[in-house]
Amino acid sequence: MFSRRELLKATVGGSLTMAMSNFSYGTKPEKKHRPNILWLDAEDANVNWFGCYGNPAATTPNIDKLAAEGFRYINAFANAPVCAPSRSTWITGVLAVSMGTHPHRSRNQIPHNVIKYYPDYLRKAGYYATNPGKTDYNIGGRPDRQCWDNGKKWPVGGESKPFFHVEHFFQSHESHAFGDVEDTKHNPACQRLRAYHPDISDLRNNYAHYADAIELMDRDVGKVLTKLKEDGLADETIVIFTTDHGGVMPASKRFLTDSGTHAPLIIRIPDKFKHLWPAEKPGMTVDRLVSFVDMPKTWLSLAGAEVPDHMQGRIFLGPDQEPERQTHFAFQGRADARYDEYRAVRGKRFLYIKNYMPYIPPGKYISYQWRMVAMQAWEEHHRAGKTDDITGRFFRPRSHVEELYDTHRDPDNVINIAGRPEHQDDLKAMRAAMREWQLETYDAGLLPEVTMARRARENNTTIYEMVRAPELYDLPAYLDAADLALEGDPANIRQLRGLLSSDDEGMRYWGVVGLMMLDGPGEDVVGLLNVLLEDRAEEVRAMAAWALLRADKDKDAARACLCYLMENKSDTTLLVLNIIDLLDEDPSIYSSAIPEDYESKLPGELVKDMANYLFKER
């Protein structure tokens, strides 16, 4: 028998054949009967922007027609609510949070000798695989386009190879919700606003403005489908339409509520391949729960290609389909320049969310998102004191570690039922499912981003490999420490002290979070935090300073710590800038710690973006 560590080393190094082997599900289709596959990949929009998903104000005739000719999945969800980690999951068939590629714009390395991309397997199986549009895989160590053939379109005439072609549509991207929102083609009065949005004209106008963009995207989808038919390929080609996650009005993209993850999925399958139909006839809906991580395995199976055993999804279509999943899992870490960390479990009815940073508000300024008129207007409306408990919640710190929503009765996810006695069994089941999922998939987000990067670098490994080595990443212990810290219970002070004395900076980090979650910490806690201002892990120092400032204790020492980290261009500089923004004090207190020419001295566009916002724009 091989030990877990031996299996890990073999998987990484390639010395153990069984650990590196691929396998196929079922029987491969004969090559002459293999379908072409055309994947229509649009940006950002959730299901609510499409007529075939019940929006009477939408103008999406081509996508609606595709749904009438195909099968419309009503329970398809993205694993991440923002593009890069979602596409990282797509290209590998491995959850980005299981590889350390979940922080937005991070480009962390993965072991490419273990994790190949799904087009590699398609090409090996004899497919012509092309994607002339967006890649954005958020993975270092391999050029995004290396896995694709170089063609810009599917082959026509005389080609013996079947094709897999991705056609990308940018018109529905968040950026197309920016700009002037007056004089829209769609009627603002006909837009159904989410329950968490105040009913003000700028929001209605922005909804209508984005509906105009969706119509343009639909028009281009129609052009591609017409071209497919003109080339005589429609009867040979499976057509898939989806978006890369939800969006795009404020509080959707980048968030794990349904508006950020519930995506359209439409699949049209020609009569020639009717044995693959998921329902009796075209035009029907399919209620099977589909997670985006399921898609690469499914596409490979439909093509008769090898399916690698490291892929984490389930085949949901065709003769090799696997048992339906009961729950979908989603994650969010840093998005743009803003830190957050939370997870979600979604069944067909209930949505469970666990917040690992409940002390911060969801609605943190992001320069890109704030280009949207709706975002500016909503914030102004809130600052004027005109929002209520529901419409203002976005701008306040989260009041609960756990959230539970009945999506049948509450589609906008605004009524948290986690505390209701009649739903305690549902809550416990979802909580247990999340813990099991985090352990099975090696959740790489239980420690700060800088901790993970440094630890992988010091051990000359990737985060993917590191989280699978218990001596480097003790996930069960981190999950337990996080749960202890997030209780915010003064009765846990002795256990929190124990975390602070650990040699593992990750445990010390959760110890500080636990102290920060306490209301009115006593002098003994303040003393502990002061000691941690000198911790050898700079992220622990930064968190200790934040905890002291939140408690209104020893402010001079805490401020000096944050200034020192910025002056020395610490890896925690972005975290420090986030902390400064979330403090209830004037950020100019810290401006002297930033060099005048910080734009050239501080690394990273995200750091520059936050520094500009704090010290120049406000």
Three-class secondary structure assignment of 374-416: HHHHHHHHHHCCCCCCCCCHHHCCCCCCEEEEECCCCCCCCCC
- Residues 256-279: tens digit of each pLDDT: 999 999 999 999 999 999 999 999
Question: What gap in Å lies between CA 569 and CA 264, rounded to an integer?
Answer: 43
At residue 523, the pLDDT reads: 83
538-550 helix and 523-532 helix, angle to the nearest 10 degrees: 150
Residue 323 per-residue DSSP state:
P
Buried b (16+ CB within 10 A) or exposed e, 314-344: bbbbbebbeeebebbbbbbbbbbbbbbbbbb
Mean pLDDT of 29-35: 70
CA 559 to centroid of chain Cα atoms: 33
Q: Which two tokens stand for residue 147?
A: 């896995």
Question: What gap in Å lies between CA 552 and CA 520, rounded to an integer?
Answer: 9
Q: Minimal CA–CA distance to 258: which of 172, 344, 378? A: 344
Mean pLDDT of 54-75: 98
At residue 503, the pLDDT reads: 97
At residue 31, the pLDDT reads: 55
Q: Are 575 and 539 in contact (CB under 8 A)?
A: yes
Nearby residues of 88 by Cβ (< 8 Å), 6 or more positions away: 80, 96, 99, 101, 102, 137, 138, 139
pLDDT band at 187 (very low <50, low <70, confident <90, very high): very high
At residue 214, the pLDDT reads: 98
At residue 30, the pLDDT reads: 55
Q: Which two tokens stand for residue 503?
A: 């040699």
- Residues 237-257: tens digit of each pLDDT: 999 999 999 999 999 999 999
Among 134-148, 151-165, 461-475, 477-491, name the one with the lowest average pLDDT: 151-165
pLDDT band at 14 (very low <50, low <70, confident <90, very high): very low
Give pTM, 2 decimals.
0.93
Residue where the block lists tokens 């402010």: 555
Q: Which two tokens stand for residue 510?
A: 């959760």
Mean pLDDT of 420-448: 98
pLDDT band at 159 (very low <50, low <70, confident <90, very high): low
Q: Minimal CA–CA distance to 366: which of 198, 197, 445, 253? A: 253
Inform me whether the pLDDT recorded for 180 exceeds 50.
yes
Inform me whether the pLDDT recorded for 1 exceeds 80.
no
In one-letter notation, the amino acid at residue 238 is: I
Q: Which two tokens stand for residue 129?
A: 């695989």
Q: Minimal CA–CA distance to 77: which of 294, 230, 228, 307? A: 294
Q: Minimal CA–CA distance to 211: which of 159, 243, 249? A: 249
Question: What gap in Å lies between CA 246 and CA 257, rounded to an integer?
Answer: 9
Q: Are 62 and 219 in contact (CB under 8 A)?
A: yes
At residue 160, the pLDDT reads: 75
Residue where the block lists tokens 């729960």: 289
Q: Minimal CA–CA distance to 48: which of 267, 309, 262, 313? A: 262
Question: What gap in Å lies between CA 61 and CA 95, rounded to an integer?
Answer: 33
> CA 281 → CA 76, 239, 274, 285, distances in Å?
20, 16, 9, 10
Question: What gap in Å lies between CA 132 and CA 167, rounded to an integer?
Answer: 7
Question: Is 314 strand, coil or helix?
Answer: coil
Q: Starting at the earlier edge strand, list the strands of the sheet with 342-346.
A: 328-332, 342-346, 350-355, 402-406
More reliable by pLDDT, 3 or 451 = 451
Mean pLDDT of 21-31: 42
Average pLDDT, the chain: 93
Is the bond preceding 525 in cis, omega lying within 30 degrees of 0?
no
Sequential DSSP letters for 87-141: HHHHHHSS-GGGTT--STT--EE--TTT---HHHHHHHTT-EEE--S-----EES
- Residues 83-120: tens digit of each pLDDT: 999 999 999 999 999 999 999 999 999 999 999 999 99
Q: Minimal CA–CA distance to 291: which of 232, 331, 319? A: 331
Q: Which two tokens stand for residue 469?
A: 């080595």
Buried b (16+ CB within 10 A) or exposed e, 540-575: bbbbbbbbbbbbebbeeebbebbbbbbeeebbbbbb
Q: Are 339 and 578 in contact (CB under 8 A)?
A: yes
- Residues 519-564: tens digit of each pLDDT: 877 788 899 999 999 999 999 999 999 999 999 999 999 999 999 9
At residue 151, the pLDDT reads: 82
- Residues 364-413: tens digit of each pLDDT: 999 999 999 999 999 999 999 999 999 999 999 998 999 999 999 999 99
Q: Are 495 and 484 in contact (CB under 8 A)?
A: yes
Q: What element of type H or E holds 574?
A: helix 573-582
Question: What gap in Å lies between CA 67 and CA 266, rounded to an integer?
Answer: 6
